[in-house]
Amino acid sequence: MAKASLKRHTMWVAAAFVGALGIDIASKWAITTIVMLPPRTIEIAPFFNVMLSFNTGVSFGLFRDFFEDRPLLLSGVKTAIAAVILLWALRSERRIQAAALGLIAGGAAGNIVDRVRNGAVTDFLDFHLGAWRWPTFNMADVAITLGAMLLITRSVVSTDKQASRSATPS
């Protein structure tokens, strides 16, 4: 990769990482210091509430009992994973893949910062349909999901292009 291209590429990774991390930290600060004083459920739409909760487990509260007394252990594991994702992003040849991985790493970093500060991850976005509820989540989770969706989309588009190229006679 040429030096100018590497610099632009690094900027995509950095922008996605810092954007995801910044939006997550700012939204959690606003929710915990302004919006949720006092803590309550705020109905935004018939299917969406803002509701404060704290997750001491991994995704969807899994392994909560194990990690509740060991938040730094989970933070250490997640930090190692985020570092590997950042290295992958910096070595990626495609800008969209680099940005997607930057979003994933930035979202992970937001949740790591929260867990180190508070011993748990602050969640506040609550979607539901009748009695069915999706686990409450935050903007870091949104960044991780968007990054994963971009990776999947990029993979499918690349596969489609490769398939059509190999099917075309030379």
Catalytic residue among 24, 114, 126, 141: 141
Residues belonging to the chain = 170
Catalytic site residue from 24, 114, 123, 126: 123
Reading the block at residue 13, the tokens are 């990774």
Q: 160 catalytic, yes or no? A: no
Q: Nearest to residue 18, comparing CAs of 89, 106, 90? A: 106
The alpha carbon torsion through 51, 30, 140, 12 (nearest 10 deg) reads 150
The residue type of 156 is V
Distance between CA atoms of residues 115 and 77, nearest Å: 12
The residues assigned a catalytic role are: 123, 141
